[in-house]
Structure 1
Amino acid sequence: MAFENPSREQIRNILLESSVIAVVGLSDKPERTSYAVSEAMQRKGYRIVPVNPNATEILGEKSYPTLKDIPFPVDIVNVFRRSEFTPPVAEEAVAIGAKTLWLQLGIYNEEAANIASAGGLNVIMDRCIKVEDSILLPEGKSRT
């Protein structure tokens, strides 16, 4: 059976129920898409948790080398890595008990989706979290 993203209403509910987003591959360079998207989500009220082994802090938040190093619960694992690198990320997302694996626009991997789904996670692929949040929650989470 071919993968299908959740419906827009389901994605809206995922966003409403989420507050902590671990961003795998978040760059500390402001010109990078991962930085701009994460900064926008941070401004919308989400807590952004950088996952980047080469940085100590990004967007004012401590950066962790891996998902497993994060010492608190994570709602969404948002991935800015090439598609072929996503299955191990999916395994870690399951291991830490995240609720959703979100592969950014242009990132799609059936194996990662199967790993996450089998682990009980929602899976969203090839969609930009910032775009979805802007469309589905234009006034922010508190005004819905």
Structure 2
Amino acid sequence: MFENPSPQAIGALLRRARTVAVVGLSPNENRPSHRVARAMQGFGWRIVPVRPAVSEVLGEPAYASLDDIPEALRREIDLVDVFLASERVGPVVDRAIALGLPAIWLQDGVIDEVAAQRAREAGLTVVMNRCVWRDWVPLATE
């Protein structure tokens, strides 16, 4: 059974993250993905939107998939934050592994234990079924 990293490890991940690919980032400001990414952007994180069929979200160019992010920018990604239905997570995790991305965060309600375990076995830091913003706010105010 999958277990998230310790609170200390999650804090360390969030403290070192500066560039975050947000998979499923909605251009609709009423969606949780938009609100969370906008808040994180306000804390100084660079947001890399990953969403097909849009050209820009939050003032940043959007990419259809992790593979479409230019290699130079992809090398800067510290974390892949996923706002997708649980059944759509597996292929995103597989691409993150193949691209050598260091960490993946599955937001509240996004649960795929098999994919999470696969990512962990490949050496990625994995956080599942948690909100990056909710975990970041207490750290930002320390």
- TM-score band by shorter chain is over 0.9
1:12 match:
11
Give the TM-score of the pair, scaled to structure 1: 0.92
Per the alignment, residue 115 of structure 2 pairs with 112
C-alpha deviations, 1:118-144, integer Å up to 9, x for none? 2210010000000000123325xxxxx
- Aligned equivalents of 1:119, 1:55: Cα separation in 2: 31
Q: Separation in 2 of the partners of 1:75 and 1:40? A: 17
Counterpart residue identity of residue 10, structure 1: A
Q: Deviations over 1:38-97 (max 9, x none)?
A: 000000011000000111000000000000111222111100001111010101111222
- Is the Cα contact below 8 Å between 1:87 and 1:115 reproduced in 2? no
Partner of 1:26, secondary structure, is coil
Distance in 1 separating the partners of 2:131 and 2:79: 13
Give the AA of the match of 1:104.
Q
- 1:100 is matched with 103
Greater Cα shift, 45-54 or 112-121: 112-121
| Superposition RMSD in Å | 1.0
Q: Structure 1 residues 110-119 or 120-129, which shifts more?
A: 110-119
Gaps of 5+ in 1: 140-144
SS of the equivalent of 1:101 reads strand
Query: Identity across aligned pairs (percent)?
Result: 45
Deviations, residues 88-120 of structure 1 (Å, cap 9, x unaligned): 010111122211110001111112102211221
Counterpart check, 1:90 vs 2:90: no
Task: Tell me, in whole angstroms, the C-alpha distance in 1 between the residues paired with 2:98 and 2:17.
Answer: 18
TM, length-normalised to structure 2 = 0.93
In structure 1, what is the equivalent of residue 26 of structure 2? 27
